[in-house]
Chain A
Amino acid sequence: MADKRINDLFITGDQTYATIDQSVGRLVLDPKAHTTNWFKWLVVGVMGTGLMMFSIAWLLFQGTGIWGNNVPAAWGFDIVNFVWWIGIGHAGTLISAILLLLRQQWRNSINRFSEAMTIFAVMCAGLFPLLHTGRPWNDFWLFPYPNILGMWPQFRSPLLWDVFAVSTYFSVSLVFWFVGLIPDFANLRDRSTNKYGKLAFALLALGWRGSNQHWHRYEQMYYLLAGLSAPLVLSVHSIVSFDFAISIVPGWNVTVFPPYFVAGAVFAGFAMVIIWAIPLRKYYKLEHLITNRHLDWMAKITLATGLIVCYGYFLEVFFQWYSGNPYEFRLLTNTRFSGMYAKFYWALIVCNGIIPQIFWWNKARTNVWSLMIVSIAVSIGMWLERFVIIPMSLTSNYLPSSNKPYYPSFWDFGMFAGTLGFFTMLMILFIRFLPMINIFEVKDLLYKFQGKKEYVEGQLPVEMN
C-alpha cells in the first residue's frame, strides 16, 4: 500500500470545514456553479425522458406488440432492462448501508450520489415490470389488497415476490436517503441566501438544529435503517434471480443464480458509480473529496465482484456439461458458444471477464481513462449478461420446433434509451438541487483525519489500510 502512485488520501489538499461547506454547498446554492454544460446535459436527459414518455404512451395505446417479444421469447428487453437497472442500484445500497455498518468511513464522500443513483435506477427498473404486462392497467392485481372477490395474488409466483422485494427496496432506500440528507438540508438552510431555497431546505430539514439529542436520534435511526437495508442488498437481487431460477427453462433453472446475481449487481453498480464519479469530480472540482484512492478502492471492489461473476459463468458452463442435461448442454453449445446470438455471449465474456482484469494493475485503477473504459465495458457486459440469460435462453427450447429468434424493435431501444435519459435527467437535477456529497459526513471524516499524525505526514491513516 505504500505505492507512491496511488498514495492519494480520501481528503486531499488543505481542507477545513468551511472549504467543504463551500465546495459542496456551492453547487446547490450558487447557480453560477453550473454552466451551460449542465444545461446541455439536462436537455439530453429531458429529451431522453420525452422519448421514454412517448414510448410508454405508444405502448399503452398499441400494446406489448410494439416490442419484439414473441413466443417463445415472451420476455426480452423489458425484463433485461429491469434486471439491469435493479442491479445498478445495488452499489448505492452497498456503499451506504453495508460499508456504514462495517465502519468504512471512506464511503462518506461517495455514498450520497450513489444512493441517489439507487433510487433513480430503481425508478427506471420499476417501470419495466409495470409496463411489460399485457394489460398494465390491471397491475394492481399483483398487490395483495382486500377485495370483495376474496381474490388474492398467487403467492407461489416469483413475480409476486418481486413486487414485494422491489417495492420494499425502493421505499427503504428512499427513507434512508432522505434521513441521511436531513443534517445537510439544515446546513443548506442556514447558508442559503435565496428566500425560496431557504424555505424549501427549512421544510426538508424537519427542524434540525444539530443538538446532541438530534445527533443521537439521527445516529440511532441511520444505523437501524442501515441494518434494514443491508439484507436488502442480498435479498432483492436474489429474489429477482428467482424469476429465472424457479422456472424450468434451460439456462434459467440454475442454483447459482442468487449469489451470482447479487455479485453482478454490485459489479454493475460500482461501474456505474465510477462512470458518474469521474466526470462529476472533474467538472465540479471535487477531486479533493472523491480522490484517486476512492476510485482505486471502487475499482478493487469491481474487480472482486467481477471475479465472482466470472466464477458464476464458469459454474454455469460446468453444470451445463456436468449435469448431463441435454437441453442445458444444447443451450450452451448451440446458443451461447455458437449460433446466431453467440457474439453476445462472447462479448459478455470479454466485457465482464477479460477487460476488468486490467484492474490488477495499480495504474489502471487510478487512471481515469482506463477506469472509464472498464466501467463502460462492465455496464455493457452486465446488460449483455441479462440478454444472454433472458431472451437467448428462451429461443432454445425443449421442443426444437419452438426455436424462434428474438429481435428487438425500435420501441425496445426507445424504452431503454428513454430510461437512460430519464436517469440522466434525474441525476442532473439532483446535482443541481441537492448536495451530491454528504457534507457532514465528510466533515466527520476530516475531523477523524485531523486527529491523526499520519495525515499530517501525508501517510495513510492506519485504520483505513
Chain B
Amino acid sequence: MDKTPELNKELALRKMRAELEGKRGQLYWQSLEEVSQTPEFEKWFEDEFPNRKDLLTIDRRTLLKFAGASLALAGLTGCRGVFLPEEKVIPFVKAPEEMVPGKALFYASAVTLAGYATGVLVEQHEGRPIKLEGNPDHPASMGALGSISQAEVLNFYDPDRAQNVTDKNGIATWEEFQKALKSQMESRVATGGKGVSVLFGAITSPSMGDLVQRFKKKFPAAKIYSWEPSGRASVTAAVKAVTGKAGVPVYDFSTAKVVVTLDGDFLSNSDNPGALIYARQFSKARRVTGKTGEMNRMYAIEANSGLVGAMADHRYMVKPSEVYSAACGLANALGVTAPAGTLNGALKKDIASIVKDLKANVGQSVVIAGEHQPAEVHTLAFMINNALGNVGKTVKFVASPEASADYGTLEDLTKELSTGLVDILYISNSNPVYTAPADLKFAAMLAKAKVKIHLTGTPDETSEKCDWTLPMAHTLEAWGDARSFEGTATIMQPIIAPLFDGRSEMEVFSNLLGESRGGYDILRSHWQVNGMGGADFEKNWRTSVHNGTIANTASAALAMSTVSATLPPVSAPSSGLEAAFIPDSAVYDGRFGNNGWLQELPRPLTKVVWDNVVTLSPADAAELKVKTDEMVKVTTAVGEIEGIVYVLNGQAKGSVTMNLGYGRTSGGTLATVGISNGGDQGGGFSSYKIRTSKTPAFTAITAITSLNTEQHLASTQGHSPLGGSRIPDKRDVIRVGTLEAYLKEGAEALKIGQSPDKEEIEKGNLYPEEVFEWDGDQWGMTIDMNACTGCGACITACQAENNISVVGKEQVGKGREMHWIRLDRYYTGSDENPEVVWQPVACVHCEKAPCEPVCPVAATIHSHEGLNQMVYNRCVGTRYCSNNCPYKVRRFNYLNWTDNQEQFTKKTVPINTRVIPGPIREPKSEGIQLLKLLNNPDVTVRSRGVMEKCTYCVQRISEARIEAKKAGKPIADGDVITACQQSCPSQAIVFGNIANKNSMVSKMRTDPRSYLLLEELQTRPRTSHLAKLKNPNPEIKSAMTEEAHS
C-alpha cells in the first residue's frame, strides 16, 4: 500500500478529489486507496487473507503468547460485564460478580406511567431483563404490579423502537444533532432563549425538574410546556383551590368504612397512579376470614363502567356531565355549602340512606372523584370529605409530585405556535400530534415552528411532522428518577446497556442547556445536593439504588385552608348523548399501542381486545337501533369518528364511552395494525378527533348514525349468540351473597346455584379413597373472588412469566387466545345496571383430571405433588384433553405463534408525510429474533401443534425446592409465589402446600366461603374459589343481590 509511486501521488489525489465530489450520505469510503481504486488496493481487497504472510511467519512462542493474551483478555471482558457498567449498578440481591447462569437476579428500579413511578424489581437472566415485578418496599407497589407497568419490559424489546437519530435527510448521528442544536441555542443565549419552546409529558423526576429550572434561568425567554392527554391538571387545580398550593390527594382506604365515588376508577391503574395501593387497602377492608369480619361499603356514582362500579355495593349511573350535579346533590344532602344539584332515579331515592351511612362513619369514609372529572367536582369532593371529618385521616393532601405542575399547557403552546414566533420546538416524550384535542388543530400549528425536534421511544405521529427524531432510551436502559403518587422518589437504574442508540430524556435535555452529561452524573449531582447529601452520600446512594426508594422523599403534606371554595353553578342537564373519554385500561392514551401484551389484554368489562369501541348502554342502543359490531359515525361539534358499537350492560344511559389510545396512524406495527391490515386486525378509532380542550373528559354528541356495516370485534367472553356472560339454569359456578346473610346463615346463603351436596357425591363415588397419599408437598391455590377487582394484572404477569404468545385480533376472534389465566366476568341482575362478579379461572389441577385418561400418548399426566402436568415434547396435538376439560382452560398452539406471525410482519405505511428514509428498523423477522430475548429461560417456548395450560408456575416450585434442598429444610409456606399471585394488587390469589394444615392456602381452602368449581363432576380441583360477598346498605333494597337469590 505504501508502494504508490511518489510521482503518481499528486495525480491520484486530484483524481480522488474529483471522485469524491458530490458524494455524501451512505457512500462511505474506508481509505484513500479505496477511492483511488489503485491496482494494489484491488489486489489487497480481493485477497481472502490479506495478511497471511504475517500469520505464516509467526513462530510458536509468539503464537502461544497471543493465545495466552487472548485468554486473559477474554477473562477481563467477563470482569466488566457486557451489560452492566459494574461500578454503577447495585443489584438488589447479589452483586454482579455473583451472577450465576440460570439464576435470576433482581434489581430495584421503577417504571413510570404519565410520569408517576411504580417501584419494580427487574428480573434479569444473564443480563437480559425478562420480567418486572412489584417492589414490596415501594409505596406505590407493595409487591403488586399492574398490567401496563409489567408490559414495559415488552416495550423494551419492541423492534419498532426508534433506533437512530434521523433528520430530514435520513439517518444522522447524535453528534450531528448536538452540533446543529448548539449552533441554534448558542445564538439565543443573548436573547434569553426567545423563540425556544419545550414540551414535556408529566415530569415527576426531581433531577429533570432541576434541569428545567436551570434551563429557565439560562433562557428566561424560553417557554416550557407540559401535556398529558389524561393528566391530573383538574386534581391539582382542585387541591390548589382548597390548600393554596398545587398538590394531589392521597387516600387511605384501609380505615374507610364507607366509600363514595364520583365517577372514575381508583382501582384501575390507567385512572389513578395510586391504584395498586388503593386496591390493596380497599380489598383488605373487605376481607372476611372465616365467619368473622367487617366489610367496607362502596357507593359508586358512575358514568363509565369501571372496576369500581363492578366492586361497588350500590351503583348509580349518571351522565358524565351530571356527575357534578350529583356531587352537589350529595353535598346539599350532607349540608355542605354547594350549588343546588339534582339527583335522579335511584340515587334520589337512596340519598338519605347514603348520607346516614356517611354521617355514621365520621372520619372513616372517603368521597373520591374521578381523575378526569373537572376541578369543581374534586373541590367539592374535598369539601365533603372535610365536612365528614375525613381530611387528615382518610384523605390527605400532599404537594404535587409533578415538577411539571406549573408548566404551560398545550393550549398555551398552540397559541404560541400560532404566532409563528417559535423557532425551535423541542418535544420530549410526548405525542401531541396524535393526542392533542381536536379543537387545537395542533398538527397545523406545529408546522409553523421552524425547527422541530422530537425525542421519542417509538417514531410516531409527531415524529413524522418533526425535523429531528431522537431515539429515547427505555427506562430499563437509562438512569433516571421519578416520584410515586405520594411523592416518594426512586432511582431508576439501567439493567442493560442501551439496545439501540437511545439516550434518556435528561441526557438529551442537558444538550439544550449546552451541556453533554450522562444521566448518572445528572442524577448524582442532583441528589448530592437534594436529600442524599453530606458525608454519607455514597452510602445513601447505594442504599437508595438498592432499595428502590429514596428515604424521606414523600411529598410534604398540605393543610386544607379553604373549607368552602367558590364553585361554579350546576349547568342545566343536557338531553342528548354525551361522549366520555377515558384512557384505555391497557394501551392507556395510545402510548402502549405497539405492545402486544396490552393490546391483547381483555378489557375488564367488555373483554374486547385490539380495538376501542363506542360503548353504548342497552337502552341507548335500542333507541338508536344499533347493535354490537355495527359501525357507527359519532359526530360532535369538533369532528366525527367512525367506530364499532359495543353494547355494554351497566353503561350509564346517555353516556357513550370511547376509550382513548386507538386509531394510531404511526407508532409501530401493532399500533397501526388497523391501517396496514384493515379493521380485521383491530386498530380502533381515535377519540382525540372529537375531544375538546375545554372539557377533555366529556363532550356532547350531536349525532350517532349507523353506517349499516359490521366489523367484528374480538372479545374473549360473551360476544356471540351463545351468551356466556350470565349463569343459566342455577349452575353452581359463582357463589355470591350479602355479608349479612353470610354471617347469619353461613355459606349456604352464598349459593345461587344448585349442586349435589358433598356427601351425596362421595356416596356415588366408586373410588372413595384418597387419590393422593404421597407424603410430601401437595400444591393448591385459592382465589378469593371477594378480593378480586378484575384488573387483569394476573393475566399479564402469567404471560410474562410463561412466555405466552400474542396471537392477534383475528385469532382471538376465532377463539384461540392463549392466556393461561382468564378473568371471567358474570352478570347478575338487570341488563341496565347489573352486578358484576369476577372469577379468575386457570387450570384448577384436578386430582382426577378428565384430560389425563383421554390423551392417547400420555402427554398430560399427574405429578406426585398433585400438579396436572403437560409434557410439551410428547404432545401430538389431538386436542381431546381440551374437549374433555370442563373448565376449558387448555390452550392450543393452532399455528406457530412464536415466530411465524404474518399479521405482525406487515410494514408500517408512512402516511401523508415526507418520505421516511427507508424502513429504519430491521425487518420484522429480525424483530422477532429480538423478542426472543424476552423469553423466560426457565419456561419452554411452545411450538406449533402442542397443548399448553397453567402449570402452577412449576418452574418457581422447582426453584424453591432446589433452594430448600440446599438449605436442608422443607419448603416453607410462602416460598413459592406464582406469577399471578405476585402481581395481584388485592392479594386475591394464595398458593401453597395444602398438605400443610397451617399454610395460608390450607386456611383459605377450609374457609366456609371456599368451594370447588364444578365439584359435582368429581374432578377434585386443587384450586378452590372463595365466594364473593356484597355489603349492601340494609336500608337500600338491593334488587340485584336479591334477584340472584330468588
Contact = CB atoms under 8 A, between A and B. Distances in A.
B724 A326 contact: no
A248 B886 contact: yes
B853 A156 contact: yes
B724 A153 contact: no
The 7 nearest A-B residue pairs measured at CB: A134-B877, A134-B945, A65-B894, A70-B815, A65-B895, A74-B879, A402-B888
A135 B877 contact: yes
A66 B716 CA distance: 20
A403 interface: yes
Nearest to B811: A65
A334 B721 CA distance: 10
A459 interface: no
B892 A401 contact: no
A435 B777 CA distance: 69
A187 B1014 CA distance: 66
A126 B701 CA distance: 60
B954 interface: no
A142 interface: yes
B858 interface: yes
A376 to B, nearest CB: 29
B855 interface: yes
7 contacts: A64-B877, A66-B895, A70-B814, A246-B854, A247-B883, A339-B721, A401-B839
Contacts of B765: none
B869 interface: no
A148 interface: no
Interface string A164-182: 0000000000000000000
A462 interface: no
A325 B717 CA distance: 24
A69 interface: yes
Nearest to B733: A399
Interface string B698-737: 0000000000000000000110111111111111010000
Contacts of A72: 815, 882-883, 888
A401 B724 contact: yes
Given A401-B717, A404-B815, A71 B891 contact: yes
Nearest to A327: B731
B284 interface: no
Nearest to B850: A248
A71 B892 contact: yes
B945 A62 contact: no
B878 A132 contact: yes
A151 B886 CA distance: 28
Q: Give the interface centre of B883, B943, B945, B1013 by most chain A CB atoms within 10 Å.
A: B883
A142 B815 contact: no
Nearest to B853: A156
Given A69-B894, A72-B888, A249-B884, A163 B720 contact: no
B182 interface: no
B720 A404 contact: yes
Interface string A328-358: 0110001100011000000000000000000
A400 B857 contact: no
Given A63-B896, A142-B857, A404-B724, A398 B878 contact: no
Interface in A373-422: 394-407
Interface in B831-888: 839, 841, 850, 853-858, 874-880, 882-884, 886-888
Interface string A151-165: 111101111100100
A11 interface: no
Nearest to A139: B876
Interface string B21-54: 0000000000000000000000000000000000
A200 B291 CA distance: 87
A71 B890 contact: yes
A339 B722 contact: yes
Nearest to A163: B856
Q: Give the interface centre of B721, B731, B894 by most chain A CB atoms within 10 Å.
A: B894
Interface in A256-278: none
B826 A401 contact: yes
B145 to A, nearest CB: 25
B824 to A, nearest CB: 4
A70 B714 CA distance: 14
B856 A157 contact: yes
A105 to B, nearest CB: 42
B226 interface: no
Given A339-B721, A403-B720, A404-B724, A398 B879 contact: no
A73 B815 contact: yes
Interface string A110-127: 000000000000000000
B216 interface: no
Q: Give the interface centre of A151, A159, A401 by most chain B CB atoms within 10 Å.
A: A401
Given A134-B893, A401-B825, 11 more contacts: A64-B895, A70-B815, A72-B888, A135-B875, A135-B946, A160-B856, A248-B1017, A334-B728, A399-B886, A400-B727, A402-B724
A339 to B, nearest CB: 7
A10 interface: no
Contacts of B879: 69, 74-75, 132, 134
A65 B841 contact: no
Nearest to B880: A159
A75 B717 contact: no
B730 A326 contact: yes
B730 A63 contact: no
Nearest to A340: B721
Contacts of A398: 731, 733, 886-888, 1014, 1017
A141 interface: yes
A154 B875 CA distance: 12
A75 B856 contact: no
A141 B857 contact: yes
Interface string A280-319: 0000000000000000000000000000000000000000
Given A63-B896, A64-B894, A403-B720, A71 B888 contact: yes
